[in-house]
Structure 1
Amino acid sequence: MKLYLALSVALLCFAANVNARQQKETLLIGVFHFNNPGLDLAKSADFDVMSPKSQEELALITDHIKKFRPTKIFVEWEYNDQPALDTLYDLYLKDAYFDHVQAKFPKSKFYLQNEIFQLAFRAGKKAGLRKIHAIDYQMNWPYDSLQSAMKKAGQATLQQDIDAQIKKVGDEDNALRKKLSLTQLLLEKNTTANRNTNLGLYLTLLNRGGALQDFTGADVVDAWYKRNLYMYSLVQKLTEEKDERVMIIVGAGHAAVFKHFIDMDQRSKVVELSEVLKN
């Protein structure tokens, strides 16, 4: 009983101390991948971020981000490949980036179109930042094992529901890409409804996969959360006390999980893109 009371008092003191500090503002931007590598379960059509209209929108969005004044920007790039990202960003700061990648990777759209280079680099330069921080952490995602486990368990209906939901998400996304601007698409990706739909696929459907004593479905969901926990851990470790405002740019699926993490992190609070664009 004494140990329980002591722990309760300690937790209350911790919460009070954390709340006494100013929470760090985290501009969380979930994106569709601008260069669309086709690696997500839901397949989406291309969207031309290089069009004059999209480029104008990116310029305006990053002007607003400059007013937000982030002191660090985190992106979905392999964290252990930070030196390569540093090299590319240094070229960008010197206005030599696009000439370099067009000469070195003439057949690749990734280095021209990806949100890291079109959005994060542009915002970082306007904000006067000397570095963009990599936080991606790749790990095995056993979706194939889940399909095998569901087949073995006779969960044909569940598999059909998963396939139907994935197709529905892809179809809806493709329809929006045909009628919305880049800014509108980004705002749509960061709505509560969109984030809930994204997470709902994992908990409502995937988590049920496998026979009664086969937790392959839960393992798949666990792997997704674990990857995002590792990524958010890097954000926490790289964020210093002096950093009052930071920005995270990741795929919308990651952002859906990050929103939950940040809401539970007593040292931080989410700032939405919609709020920044109003200022």
Structure 2
Amino acid sequence: MRTLLLMLLCACLNPVFSQTKKKQILVIGTFHFRNPGLDVAKVNTFNVMSDKSQQELESISNSIAKFAPAKIFVEWDYRKQDKLDDLYCKNLDSLMKKDANELVQIALRSAKKLKHPKLYGVDYKETSFPYDSLITQMKIAGQVGLVEEGVTTMKAYESAQNKKMAALSLRELLLDFNTKRSNDFSMQWYFGNASRGGKKDNFAGAFLVSEWYRRNLYMYALVQKLTEVKDDKVMVILGAGHIAMLREFIKFDPEFEIVELKDIL
């Protein structure tokens, strides 16, 4: 009897004993459908406007609608939410026929089916990405091996992705971009190559990595702040490199549990 009373008392006083249902967060890492060539890696553009890809996008967005996230967060400057709201208010049917951007083709398409009032921009742009300065400091430090390793890694990545672009369907590509292997690769260059850049008293590499880390952390902070108590499910669609880092943040956030794209398709 005494043991039972003690267990009941602990359950009442210690929140550890209470089980709180976690919010589900569907994370989708993607490539740029309308590739502007701004990334360091130069990957061929995939035609998402073909009949086959459009059919796949309809199927993907139907699966997202069935999952039913309460909010959809996208890679859009959070300070320009008003412009995102204006875009969302436009004729979406017409927009989807001419704009290949993944924000339009996946996020807007899904939000329309869910009858959401808006999308939520969570990108944070007030960081730098001094890639050229990093390469310069690597050369000054005599880190020729690191420079060559980075070039080799980038070319191998470009070649592999371009082969996939030519061989896989859009659905297959998206599933591939959301594998653990793909996510690990997205992070390896930053921590295995870039952070080493510069002489002992120069932290050009570590600074670049810290800025990339900060951008992703601030994006995740916005997801946390914009997710309300009533939102039991949310969705985040970002470039695959961003999603790779967000996965690490979510791992240590007791409020969320990840839902994989492969599990809803």
Q: What is the TM-score when the length of structure 2 is the normalising length?
A: 0.91
Q: How does 1:152-163 map to 2 (within 5 A)?
A: 152-163=140-151
CA distance in 2, matches of 1:173, 1:207: 24
| Aligned-partner Cα distance in 1 for 2:94–2:29 | 28
Deviations 1:114-163 (Å, cap 9, x if unpaired)?
A: 11111100000111211100011112112122111111101111100011
Cα distance in 2 for residues equivalent to 1:186 and 1:65: 14
C-alpha deviation, 1:92, in angstroms: 3.9
How do 1:32-43 residues align onto structure 2 when only pairs under 5 Å count?
32-43=31-42
Distance 1:188 1:152 in 2: 38
Q: Superposed, which structure 2 residues align to 1:71-82 within 5 Å? A: 71-82=70-81
- Structure-to-structure mapping, 1:208-227, within 5 angstroms: 208-227=196-215
Please give the per-residue CA displacement for 1:94-116, whole angstroms capped at 9, x wherever unaligned: x45468xx6xxxxxxxxx01111
Aligned-partner Cα distance in 2 for 1:225–1:159: 21
SS in 1 for 2:182: helix
The residue correspondences of 1:200-215 to structure 2 (distance < 5 A) are: 200-215=188-203
1:54 alignment partner AA: S
1:255 matched residue in structure 2: 243
1:24 aligns with 2:30: no
1:69-218, aligned counterparts within 5 Å?
A: 69-92=68-91, 95=93, 97=95, 112-138=99-125, 139-218=127-206
Shift in Å, 1:20: 2.6
Alpha-carbon distance between aligned partners in 2 of 1:92 and 1:239, rounded to the nearest angstrom = 27
After TM superposition, where is structure 1 displaced by more than 3 Å over at least 4 residues in a row?
Answer: 95-99
**Partner of 1:49 in structure 2?**
48
Contact 1:89-1:97 at 8 Å conserved across structures: no
TM-score (norm 1): 0.87
SS at match of 1:113: coil
Give, as a single letter, the amino acid of the residue that structure 2 aligns with 1:76.
E
Which amino acid in the other structure matches residue 34 of structure 1? F
Distance of 2:60 and 2:182 partners within structure 1? 21
Measured after TM superposition, the shift of residue 91 of structure 1 is 1.5
Give the partner amino acid of 1:235: V
| Number of residue pairs aligned between Structure 1 and Structure 2 | 251
CA deviation after TM superposition for structure 1 residue 269, in Å: 1.0
Query: What RMSD over aligned residues (CA atoms) do the two structures have, in Å?
Result: 1.5
Percentage of pairs with the same residue: 45
Unmatched tracts of structure 1, length 5 or more: 1-12, 103-111
Separation in 2 of the partners of 1:182 and 1:33? 12
In 1, Cα distance between equivalents of 2:73 and 2:157: 27
Partner of 1:4: none
Distance of 2:20 and 2:89 partners within structure 1: 34
Partners of 1:92 and 1:121 within 8 A in 2? no
Structure 1 residue corresponding to 2:223, chosen from 224, 232, 235: 235
Between the aligned partners of 2:230 and 2:91, the Cα distance in structure 1 is 26
In 2, the alpha carbon distance for the partners of 1:180 and 1:66 equals 24
Shift of 1:46: 1.1
Please list every run of 5 or more consecutive structure 2 residues that lacks an aligned counterpart in the other structure: 1-13
Question: What SS does structure 1 have at the residue aligned with 2:264?
Answer: helix
Aligned residue in 2 for 1:65 = 64
Note if contact 2:96-2:109 (Cα within 8 Å) is conserved in structure 1. no
Aligned counterparts of 1:96 and 1:152: Cα–Cα separation in 2: 52
